[in-house]
Amino acid sequence: MDIPLAERGNYYRGLLVLIRKDRVISARERDLMIRLGQRLDFDPRFCEGAIDDVLKNPHIKNKPMMFSDRSIARLFVRDAVMIAGIDGEIHPDEWTWIREVARKNGLTDREIGDGAGYPAPAGRLPKS
């Protein structure tokens, strides 16, 4: 899928917000984030710097990302679930945030699924 540059920045920023939700960035998360960044045409050094800075950078806002296209949002949710589950489990704060992004982008529970075989930690989230 061809994602516009502004959307790619939003996409990567969203993944950065996600990986800091559990306050731990594993080596596997880091490696996957660098690979995803390269797939989005970001320089690996930029990605490494952003990853190194994300836990302490107060300027990266935690609000759910809004995408211009539902197909980009679906792709984002798929990648977010993959990253969140890379350590074998999805932290409840990560899952909640993924669901908030999906909901903000108008994705249904059917479209979200569990993405990679991971059930929501507490089932469905309450309606906002």
Enumerate residues 6+ apart whose C-beta is below 8 A from 60.
Answer: 13, 16, 17, 20, 54
What are the backbone angles phi and psi of residue 40, rounded to the nearest 5°?
Answer: -90, 10
Say how far apart CA 62 and CA 43 lie, in whole Å.
Answer: 23
Q: Is 121 within the bounds of a domain? A: no
> CA-to-CA distance for 108 and 88, rounded, in angstroms?
25
Residue 97 placed within a domain:
yes
Is there a domain that residue 99 lies in? yes
Provide the pLDDT for residue 87.
Answer: 79
Residue 121 confidence (pLDDT): 38
Domain assignment present for 127: no
pLDDT tier at 124, thresholds 50, 70, 90: very low
Number of domains in the chain: 1
* Low-confidence winner among 6-15, 26-35, 52-61, 108-117 (lowest mean pLDDT): 108-117
What is the chain's mean pLDDT, rounded? 84
Q: Which pLDDT band holds residue 114 (cuts at 50, 70, 90)?
A: low
| Residue 122 counted as domain residue | no
Provide the whole-model pTM. 0.82
pLDDT at 128 over 60: no
Does residue 39 belong to any structural domain of this protein?
Answer: yes
Task: Answer whether 26's CB lies under 8 Å from 87's CB.
Answer: yes
Q: Which domain holds residue 19?
A: 5-112
From the list 48, 37, 28, 30, the residue with the least C-alpha distance to 89 is: 28
| Residue 118 counted as domain residue | no
Please give the structure tokens belonging to residue 43: 């320089």
In a domain, 124, yes or no: no
